[in-house]
Structure 1
Amino acid sequence: MIKHKEHFHGSDLEKIEQYYGIKKEDIISFSANVNPLGISPNLRKTLSEHLNAITTYPDREYTSLRHCIAEYIHSDAEHIIVGNGSTELISLFIQIEHPKKAMVLGPTYSEYEREIFLGGGTTHYYPLKEADDFALNIEDFTACLNESIDLLVICNPNNPTSSAITRTQMRQILDVCKQYDIFVMVDETYVEFTENMEEITSIPLTHYYNNIIILRGTSKFFAAPGLRLGYAVTGNHDLIKSINTRQNPWTINSLAVIAGELMFQDQDYIKKTRELISSERAKIYQALQENPNYKPYPPSANFILVKILKEDLTSQDLFDRTILKGLMIRDCSTFPFLDQKYIRFCFMMPEDNRKLLDCLMQ
Structure 2
Amino acid sequence: MLQHKDHFHGSDLEKIEQIYGIRKEEITSFSANVNPLGISFLLRETLAKHIDAISSYPDREYLSLRKCIADYVDTDYENIIMGNGSTELISLFIQIEHPAKALIIGPTYSEYEREIALGGGTCLYYPLQEALNFVLDVDHFTKQLNESIDLLVICNPNNPTSGAISRKTMRRILDVCKQNDIFVMVDETYVEFADNYKEITSVPLTAFYNNIVILRGTSKFFAAPGLRLGYAVTGNRDFVKSINARKNPWTINSLAVIAGEIMFRDTAYIARTRNLISEERTRMYQLFSQDSRFKTYPPSGNFMLVRLLSEDMTSGELFERAIREKMMIRDCSTFPFLDHKYIRFCFMTRELNDRLAECIMK
TM-score by length of 1: 0.98
1:318-360 superposed Cα distances (whole Å, 9 cap, x missing partner):
0000000001000000000000000000000110000000011
Does structure 1 residue 238 correspond to structure 2 residue 221? no
User: How many angstroms does 1:55 deviate by?
Assistant: 0.3
Q: Which residue of 2 aligns with 1:46?
A: 46
Structure 1: which amino acid aligns with 2:218?
Answer: T
Q: Deviation at 1:3?
A: 3.3
Instruction: Structure 1 unaligned segments of length 5 or more: list them.
Output: none
Distance in 2 (CA, whole Å) between partners of 1:22 and 1:96 is 43
In structure 2, the residue corresponding to 1:213 is in which secondary structure? Answer: strand
Partner of 2:219: 219
What are the equivalent positions in structure 2 for 1:36-115 lying under 5 Å apart? 36-115=36-115
Identity of aligned residues (%): 70
Per the alignment, residue 359 of structure 1 pairs with: 359
- Supply the distance in 2 between the matched residues of 1:277 and 1:129 (Cα, whole angstroms): 26
Q: Which whole-Å CA distance do the structure 2 matches of 1:4 and 1:276 have between them?
A: 36
Is residue 4–residue 334 contact of structure 1 (8 Å, CA) maintained in 2? no
Which residue number corresponds to residue 4 of structure 2? 2
* Aligned CA-pair RMSD: 0.8
d(CA) in 2 for partners of 1:3, 1:125: 10
Secondary structure, aligned partner of 2:89: helix
Distance 2:68 2:9 in 1: 37
Kindly report which structure 2 residues correspond to 1:160-199, keeping only aligned pairs within 5 A, or say none. Answer: 160-199=160-199
Tell me what 2:322 maps to.
Answer: 322
Aligned to 1:33: 33
Would you say 1:248 and 2:219 are equivalent positions? no
Matched, 1:116 2:116: yes
TM-superposed deviation, 1:7: 4.8
Q: Give me the whole-angstrom Cα distance separating, in 2, the residues matched to 1:5 and 1:143.
A: 27
Distance, in Å, in 2 between the alignment partners of 1:328 and 1:145 is 38
In 1, distance between residues paired with 2:256 and 2:9? 30
Name the SS of the counterpart of 1:36 in structure 2: coil
Structure 2 residue runs of 5 or longer lacking an equivalent are none
CA separation of 1:34 and 1:192: change in aligned 2, threshold 3 A: same
Name 1:128's counterpart in structure 2.
128
The letter of the residue matching 1:287 is L
Query: How far does residue 61 in structure 1 lie from its aligned partner after superposition?
Result: 0.3
TM-superposed CA distance for 1:36, in Å, is 0.1
Partner residue of 1:310? 310
Once the two structures are superposed, residues 114-167 of structure 1 have per-residue CA deviations (whole angstroms, 9 ceiling, x without a partner) of 000000000000000001100101000000001100100000000000000000
Q: Deviations over 1:103-124 (max 9, x none)?
A: 0000000000000000000000
**Matches of 2:110 and 2:272, distance apart in 1:** 31
Per the alignment, in what secondary structure is the counterpart of residue 108 of structure 2? Answer: coil
Q: What is the number of equivalent residue pairs in this alignment?
A: 360
Give the CA deviation at 1:6. Answer: 4.7
